[in-house]
Amino acid sequence: MPSCSCPSTTRLAVQLALLDNLSRGRIDVGVGKGTIYNEYEFVGHGLRSGDSRERMEEAVDIIGRLWGGGPVTYNGKYFQVQVPQLWPRPVQRPHLPLWRGVISPSSFSECGRLGVPILTARLPVGRIKERWAAYGVGLDAGGHDASTRARLLAQSALWRNVYVAESNAQAEDELSALLLQTRAHMMQVRAAYNPADFTIDPAMMNPWADPVVGADEAVKYVLATGSLYGSPPRVRDQVAELRDAGVQHLLCQTGFGDMSHDQNLASMRRFGEEVMPAFRT
């Protein structure tokens, strides 16, 4: 893929810097190389995913330089940028916090070495300690001091579906129906829009993402490995299990399928009023 002088990196750097100013330094930025399942998202921009990691690294490098101030000239493999000055400059110095999306053990270790805070997808409880340990090995390899190490481990974020109802049975029935809708749509658009020559790395497949796995089995898998659901007491126990495995920062997805606004709010209120207070320190 030839390099380009597209202003996308400059535009993104400016937009995020402006948000940082409007929020008085409260913006955190999450970055990742892109989906491993939805190739059509790359195709829509005239790209393919094979070079997505290199492209991301180059873009992050450019944005960091732009936030640093002064003129920036960059002639890379994918981007060519010449900017005399970024305006406005971010409030946070030397730059906005950049979080990385990670899945594989090597990505955990590499982000630890670089001292980058991490966001990870639905990770089964049994794998949390080993992934957090890989991040810790990376932190050690990067020579980070004790306070930085403690801060980064506390920031390490795990994603979970969250649905709280009046009873365990109600939560399971309602969340299962919503997840079935979500997966059906996901599989439909992939079948319709992914290029015929696109294949997914078998090592990255799981029952939720694998189209040959039946819908009921897929939903059971994601309920067991990626969801906090049930009555408030049960969800408190599930959150405590994550805490005991080393998780200190939880990302909560509360909307699924065609869930109504009122249904979403009811679940969120139960979580906020009957689950969260148990974990205040």
Query: What angle, 0 to 180 degrees and rounded to 10, lies between the N-to-C axes of helices 125-141 and 232-244?
Result: 30
Integer Rg of the chain from CA? 21
State how far the Cα of 75 lies from the Cα of 153, in Å rounded to an integer.
35
pTM summary value: 0.86
What is the residue-wise DSSP string for 167-203? Answer: SHHHHHHHHHHHHHHHHHHHHHHHHHHS-TT----GG
pLDDT score for 26: 94
Please give the pLDDT value at position 231. Answer: 98
pLDDT of residue 201: 82
The pair of structure tokens assigned to 121 is: 């997808």
Helical packing angle, 168-193 and 215-226, nearest 10° = 120
Q: Which phi and psi (to 5°) does residue 176 adopt? A: -60, -45
Residue 2 has a pLDDT of 39
Cα(152)–Cα(144) distance, rounded to whole angstroms? 10
- Reduced to 3 states, what is the DSSP secondary structure of residue 55? helix
Q: What secondary structure letter does DSSP report for 50?
A: G
* Per-residue confidence (pLDDT) for residue 104, from 0 to 100: 79
Per-residue confidence (pLDDT) for residue 267, from 0 to 100:
98
Question: If the chain, 281 residues long, is cut into consecutive pieces of 10 residues, what is the mean pLDDT of each piece?
Answer: 61 95 94 89 92 92 92 93 92 89 87 92 88 94 94 93 98 97 95 94 87 95 96 98 93 93 97 95 71
Residue 250's nearest CA partner among 270, 228, 277, 223 is: 228
| Residue that the structure tokens 């639905």 belong to | 122
Cis amide linkage into residue 94, ω under 30° from 0: yes
Please give, one letter per residue, the 3-state secondary structure of 212-260: CCCHHHHHHHHHHHHEEEECHHHHHHHHHHHHHCCCCEEEEECCCCCCC
**Separation between Cα atoms, residue 73 and residue 81, nearest integer Å:** 6
